Structure 1
Amino acid sequence: MSGDRFARRLNALAEEFEREERVHVKTPYKWSRGETPRSPWRALSALLLSRELGRTITPADLGWPADQVEYTTATCGLDSPWTREGTLRALAVVADADRMDRRSFVALVGTAITSPAHEWLIAHPITRLAQATGTAIPAGVVDHLDGITDHLRRMDDQVGGGPMLRLVHEQLRYVTTLLRNGRYDDSLGRRLHAVAAELLRLAGFAAFDSGRHGLAQWYWDAGLRAAHAAGDSALGANILGFKSCQAKDAGGGREAVVLANSARLGYSGASGQVTAILALRAAEAAANDRTTTSGHRASQTRHAIDDAFNALDDPPPATGHPAWAYWMDPAQAHAQAGYCYLRIGEHAKARTELRAALRLQDKEYSREGALRHVLLATTYLQQTQPDLEHTLAHAHQAADALTGHVDSARCRGHLDRLAKDLQPYRRTTKVQELLDRSRAMSNP
């Protein structure tokens, strides 16, 4: 590569990682003569050469000191086989706190984001998880881990992903240490892998909620491996559902559909709550799929919504629902249905569903409540004759929740998009007040 071409490729790579810096096309010639690049060009140069050569290149290989941040893709360390040993290797890589702090991940797109779903569907079952060496792990310890994980889930509901990621990651490190160094039979081994999978799912959502999409994918793909090792198809399908939600938010409508359908295909259990979760993920994906006709989108969306509400009416299985499925209640089902109707342009139906969700929710301030108010505000703004009064009323209620109560970059992003759509009305005093408030929240 010429220095000019190398610089252009580096600038494109910097853009992938949402870096604002750019390198001059002649600067790499100085590096070839012995000058040391400043950050972030050492790490980005190493990553660019790694991609070109198909093997890992570090700044040290180039005679340069380490950079402050490592740049990598969301597949890093997750290329091991879908076996017990491969899963433990992947968990060890992801649970390393220093690597999590230092690394900046670029999110996967296209077929790269859907390929783990295919691998999960065809992976051979893992029949042996017992470990015969190490310190014995009592069953009561795993009971406590289940309880702690449940508390973390519910804390995330209240405070949002921002403050939660570090706490969840530290718990994941502890569980990973038990898996690697403890002694347990097959039954406890499956339970420990399931705990690790759910912590990875929760860490992924905390990262996603904070706007760190590549990191979220890293956690979720590792979680898919842990769920497979645990033999827990419901948990694996739920993780794919979250990946579908992320793909949908990132504009990957077709990929979201593939992920949501793979999740439904991989789960054949009896829990109506889980079935409803997966059906509503499919509805969200269908509602955002711009690769098909509007009629097909609407039909697929309505069909999946009906499946979800029918599943919620099913009696609970004898074994009960998975503990993590608690959040799928009528309020959440109505909220997600409202979002789907909004996306296919049926504003009256969307309002009916979102109002039902707000009426049924049991907390005044929560991440989901904030999102429901933003979506309800959007229905009033997007209708044929915009209703600014109701739009602003619900937007302010969302802002109230996001000010001092809930830390969610994802919800602030929805509010920012609403504010952008309100720009044509900014000469109205009350609209300008909301725009100023939204701007202050985005730039504290």
Structure 2
Amino acid sequence: MTEYVTEHTHPLAYHRELKSLTRVDLANLIGEAAKRRGLRSGTDKHRVRKWEVCGVTPEAETQVYIAEALALPVELVAPDDWPNWLPGSDGGVVPLGPCSTVTALREALSTAMERLERRTFLTISGTALTALAAAWAAGGGTALAAQLQGDKRVGDDTVTLLEDTSRQLNGLVTEQRQHVTALLDAHLETVANLIANGRYDRATGLRLHALAASLAQTVAWHRFDHGHHTAAAKLWIAGLHSAHATGDPDLGAAMLGDLAYQAAWRKDHTTAASLLHHALTRTEHPAARSLLHLRLARTLASQGEKRPALRALKAAEHQLGATTGRPLPAWCAWMSQADLAVDSGQALLDLGETRQAHQLISDGQALLPTTRDKTRGVFLTYQAASHLQLKEPERAAQAATEALNLSRRIGAPRCEHLVRELLLAFQPYSSANGVQELLDLAAA
């Protein structure tokens, strides 16, 4: 299975790097934790190095100080399981648990806020993601309770303001939403801080966790669209933790579905299929099930598994038309016949059914609302690919050129990446109308 980042390191060194701490800094923070108890710590940078490099295990009391120094819940400390209790040591994934939400959110925010030039000391393995999905699929967990201790009480007006503002930011068209990434980041950090430090009743806690999940999902897509895959994965994982705390299985399935989409994008179809199978075990709303079946069909088709892919497509079509008295989850409210047609066409294209695929992609493109520019750009690249398979380079070049111009206008580098993946296939048709213009535009 795919390893999302290749650098391996000790979990303690990883957490130091997340917080930009030197070994001296960490030793000083451990000393301060001991001093708050009226004690002294003999930890220095050499001792920290022994823990990270030489495999030395810190004393149980010192492990508590380490947790405090790294702003991790002390409930996580398991002295006999050093360093495995440190979040992220299991393949870069924080395990689900009653104290896991804040840890996952802080870890995701730390990763997302890293400067691009910094090295990321993190590996997120497909095996670890699958294990996390299996734990979620098993259900259970501790019901979210009121948080009766905290710096200040979190009132309804504060949560309502954050909910309304988040909806407004996320409701912007793609071309404008590219300008508010920092605001969405700040909203997520604010919500994470309220969950960690605020005082609130159970109803408010549920709203905060649901908002954290929604924001984490939105910010993850921003990072994913710009190729920041580790940050995106950590944010979707944090969203899963937040959703798990609310007890909303459809919201949790949304995060697994997005992680599966990312895995498929990175050609790790084994992980993608596994995540989707786990997600479908608990997904309840028909529209949500339709989207997950559609993604499953795409990843199965990419592996040439024709019969399972066709069964998944049939299930996606059936579920999209199903009626229910339950409200439509916001995270899949955009799912439509246009998406079903185009993604079905792309699955059939992968299975070699070119003519039928081309027709479905063209039909879906015509059905897509004008407000969904980013999706239109992606669909145009699918349309270009289907024209290429039909040996229609002029039409392919027209669709690819439109996709490239659109992606640059709205700030959608993921769509531009899809166009660039097609450029090699255009080379044999350099004399066809529009092809050289496309190649020149891509080089500009």
| Common fold: TM-score over 0.5 | yes
Q: Quickly say closer, same or farther: Cα 1:281–1:427, change in 2 above 3 A.
A: same
Q: 2:105 aligns with which of 72, 91, 94?
A: 91
Relative to structure 1, the CA distance from residue 160 to residue 216 in structure 2 (aligned partners, 3 Å threshold; closer, same or farther) is farther
In structure 2, the residue matched to 1:279 is 293
Aligned counterpart, 2:347:
340
408-417 or 127-136, which moves further after superposition? Answer: 127-136
CA-CA distance at 1:365 after TM superposition: 6.8
Q: Which residue of 2 aligns with 1:436?
A: 440
Q: Which of 399, 403, 407 is equivalent to 1:398?
A: 403
Change (3 A) 1:187 1:286: same
Distance (Å, rounded) in 2 between the aligned partners of 1:114 and 1:397: 38
Q: CA deviation at 1:363?
A: 1.1
| Number of residue pairs the alignment of both structures matches | 369
Distance in 2 separating the partners of 1:145 and 1:208: 23
Which of 133, 136, 145 pairs up with 1:129? 145
CA offset at residue 374 of structure 1?
Answer: 0.9
Partner residue in 2 for 1:143? 160
Structure 1 residues 155-214: Cα deviation after superposition (integer angstroms, max 9, x where no partner) = 3x5138865543321110111121122222212211211110111111111111111111
Cα pair 1:161 1:205 within 8 Å, conserved: no
Query: Does residue 1:324 correspond to 2:321, yes or no?
Result: no
Q: Is 2:357–2:386's contact at 8 Å kept on the other side of the alignment?
A: yes
Query: Does 192-201 or 90-99 show the bigger shift?
Result: 90-99
Structure 2 residue identity aligned to 1:363: T
- Aligned pairs for 1:303-322 within 5 A: 303-317=311-325, 319-322=326-329
Distance in structure 2 (CA, Å) of the matches to 1:110 and 1:311: 28
Could you tell me how far 1:356 is from its partner in structure 2?
A: 2.0
Match of 1:5 in 2: none
Instruction: Name the counterpart of 1:187.
Output: 203
| Residue 264 of structure 2 is aligned to residue 248 of structure 1 | yes
Would you say 1:200 and 2:205 are equivalent positions? no
Task: Return the letter of the residue paired with 2:400.
Answer: A
Letter in 2 for 1:177: N
Cα 1:414–1:53 shift into 2, 3 Å: farther
Q: Which runs of 5+ in 1 are unaligned?
A: 1-12, 18-45, 57-73
Amino acid across the alignment from 1:154? G
Cα distance in 1 for partners of 2:54, 2:267 equals 28
CA distance in 2, matches of 1:348, 1:50: 58
Which string of whole-angstrom CA distances, capped at 9 and with x for unpartnered residues, describes residues 61-117 of structure 1? xxxxxxxxxxxxx94797655334222222233334895347544563431332221
1:161 and 1:210 in contact (8 A); partners too: no
Q: Which residue of 2 aligns with 1:354?
A: 361
Output aligned runs, 1:218-237, within 5 Å: 218-237=234-253
> Higher mean Cα deviation, 120-129 or 180-189?
120-129
Deviations 1:292-342 (A, max 9, x none): xx3xx122222111211211211232x411122211122222222222222
Q: Judging changes above 3 Å, is the alpha-carbon distance between structure 1 residues 353 and 429 closer, same or farther for their aligned structure 2 residues?
A: closer
CA separation in 2, counterparts of 1:220 and 1:237? Answer: 11
| Equivalent residues of 2:297, 2:347 under 8 A apart | yes
* Aligned-partner SS, 2:99: helix
1:350 counterpart SS class: helix
CA 1:199–1:414: 2 relative to 1, 3 Å: same
Deviations 1:28-85 (A, max 9, x none): xxxxxxxxxxxxxxxxxx99x95885999xxxxxxxxxxxxxxxxx947976553342
Aligned identity (percent) is 26
Which stretch shifts more, 172-181 or 162-171? 162-171
SS at match of 2:280: helix
SS class of match (1:183): coil
Residues 144 and 206 of structure 2 are in contact (CA less than 8 Å); yes or no, is this contact kept in structure 1?
A: no
**Which of 383, 387, 394 is the aligned partner of 2:392?**
387
SS at match of 1:266: coil
Give the Cα–Cα distance (whole angstroms) in 1 for the partners of residues 361 and 372 of structure 2. 16
Tell me if the contact between 1:160 and 1:367 (Cα under 8 Å) persists in the aligned partners: no
SS at match of 2:171: helix
Greater shift, 90-99 or 185-194, is seen at 90-99
- Which 4+ runs in 1 deviate beyond 4 A? 49-56, 76-81, 96-99, 160-164
Is the 8 Å Cα contact of residues 276 and 308 (structure 1) preserved in structure 2? yes
Corresponding letter in the other structure for 1:227: A
> Shift in Å at residue 276 of structure 1?
1.1
C-alpha RMSD of the superposition: 3.1
